[in-house]
Structure 1
């Protein structure tokens, strides 16, 4: 029997929790798309790979249309968003966005499929993404061996994926990443603590470290030793996460980190607007900024 509203214990942005322990998600099913030998719009090739079976971690790899063995290309490691509980590297929105980035930036891309709440509560998303990044550094696929310049790795993600990308960069700075060099990190409308969504994150992460958990509220020490040279942060004017995103940039500047950080404000835009209409003028501008940052 379905739970009634009167039995609701918690109501979060993406789901509600009922007294009998059931969860009711308020988001539509994710529409997924298959990889392609040649994307009809971009000409980009894609394929899926298994990184680990226990725990289950996979990824979608992308190659641009014109790629040869003589020239190695930068690698974009993309982490999708979705509130740690929704979306997929294989969804139509993320497949199309990453394919567009690969075509425009002329890069190799790896889009990671990490574990989601409730099947795999946080910190699975962080651990799975780290496992995928180590897999890349270990050159476990011919496309990476033949076409990727692992001295030019860029971490990127939006929303929850922006949060995870920061955590990956912090881990690289802390313990290193043998076999690869992370040059930059691109955080699009990243999730960090300081909004009503904090309680949803706590619920999804039973072993959380509270309001000062460095995965929610980046620690000064992690920022000071961030494992990349450059950071680009996008914030959207009509996004409830804009404040924490700006605060992240300010704290990174004060941390003593030796790199450079830039913030871009998407005026008049909502959270993750760039995914839903690739032809929209401001979506094109956001991708162009990605490209210029990677080619800088």
Structure 2
């Protein structure tokens, strides 16, 4: 989701206090109406891939949860790579339960033969930024409870190789993934190491204040805010993994932001390997909207190759 193209406008409807075109309306009575990302699909066994999925509650008090995916024909004792995925949506729309994300996770789980944890963090503006970061970190700590095989979720106890863990995310979710990798680099991940992160069409702040972020983030500090404007972060070299893959799209307004992140990471002194790949002729998160296209399939293949290479 391209945050920088969505500035709050003066609404025509007198009952609406603020409107972010194509994303959401904030009514004067406090009600929030989301204009995209509201459709949901239930978990189960996917007829296309035979991947199994289920929903788990991480924190019943806040509603923090996740959708888990287990690839087909997984023997009871087989240990697999874990992909911890963070969805996009401008910090304010979409969930892991949306059909597009559900299909994408089924595909990644099947093609890469990995267990997936797709986190459902709370959305702004009801839960303003930085709650999305806090929720995601709490979910990471919940996953870490399974390192010894004694956590609350059997799929993670029985089937995850905690020696092979990756983060993935798109748009705002890619921003969160970066911040989680950075936090883990200083605090640790609770008993496991992060092998790498995949940032698809990543959102990072540019050289000016982001007006949408300003609406969703009461304590936003502008261009010096390292969470949002991560390419300017002097601590970027502390990223807690040794491999990064950045996937950008030629027609995406955020393409240059991804390229700047690539250059900033390379020049930071970070001792890992970062690669960037551009898909020609495509726009922001195109693979979610048209997953059967040749270019979408090629992008998924690059994602899979990155998390399966030894």
TM-score normalised to structure 1 length = 0.92
Distance 2:49 2:135 in 1: 29
Q: Mapping of 1:212-291 within 5 angstroms?
A: 212-218=224-230, 219-291=232-304
**SS of the residue aligned with 1:182?**
coil
Equivalent position of 2:38 in the other structure? 30
- The whole-number CA distance in structure 2 between the counterparts of 1:13 and 1:170 is 32
* Structure 2 counterpart of 1:166: 178
> Are positions 1:64 and 2:71 aligned together?
yes
Correspondence 1:90 to 2:97: yes
Q: CA deviation at 1:16?
A: 6.9
Retained in 2: the 8 A contact 1:8–1:16?
no
Cα distance in 1 for residues equivalent to 2:41 and 2:17: 35
**Alpha carbons of 1:80 and 1:197: their partners in 2 closer, same or farther (altered >3 Å)?**
farther
Relative to structure 1, the CA distance from residue 259 to residue 67 in structure 2 (aligned partners, 3 Å threshold; closer, same or farther) is: same
Contact 2:25 2:34 in 1 (8 A): no
Deviation at 1:243, TM superposition (A): 1.1
Give per-residue Cα distances to partners, 1:206-248, cap 9 Å, x unaligned.
Answer: 0122211111111544321100010000111111111111100
Q: Which runs of 5+ in 1 are unaligned?
A: none
CA RMSD of aligned residues (A): 2.4
Query: What is the aligned counterpart of 2:140 among 111, 118, 133?
Result: 133
Q: In structure 2, list runs of 5 or more residues that go unmatched.
A: 1-10
The 1-side partners of 2:66 and 2:17 are apart by: 35
1:79 aligns with 2:86: yes
- Per-residue Cα deviation, 1:71-110 (whole angstroms, up to 9, x for no partner): 3110000001111110011111101100100000000000
SS in 2 for 1:116: coil
Q: Secondary structure of the equivalent of 2:47?
A: coil
**TM-fit CA distance, 1:148:** 0.5
Cα contact 1:51–1:57 (8 A) shared by 2: yes
Asked if structure 2 preserves the Cα contact closer than 8 Å seen for 1:9 and 1:16, the reply is no
Matched with 2:202 is 190
Moved more, 21-30 or 119-128: 21-30
CA apart distance, 1:5: 5.9
Task: Give 3-state SS (helix, strand or coil) of 2:235's partner.
Answer: helix
Instruction: Give CA-to-partner distance per residue, 1:30-63, whole Å, 9 cap, x none.
Output: 2111110x21000000110000022220000000
Mapped to 1, the partners of 2:32 and 2:41 lie a distance apart of 25
CA contact (8 A) 2:208 2:222 kept: no
Residue number among 211, 215, 218 corresponding to 1:203 in the alignment: 215
Q: CA deviation at 1:29?
A: 5.3
CA distance in 2, matches of 1:196, 1:13: 20
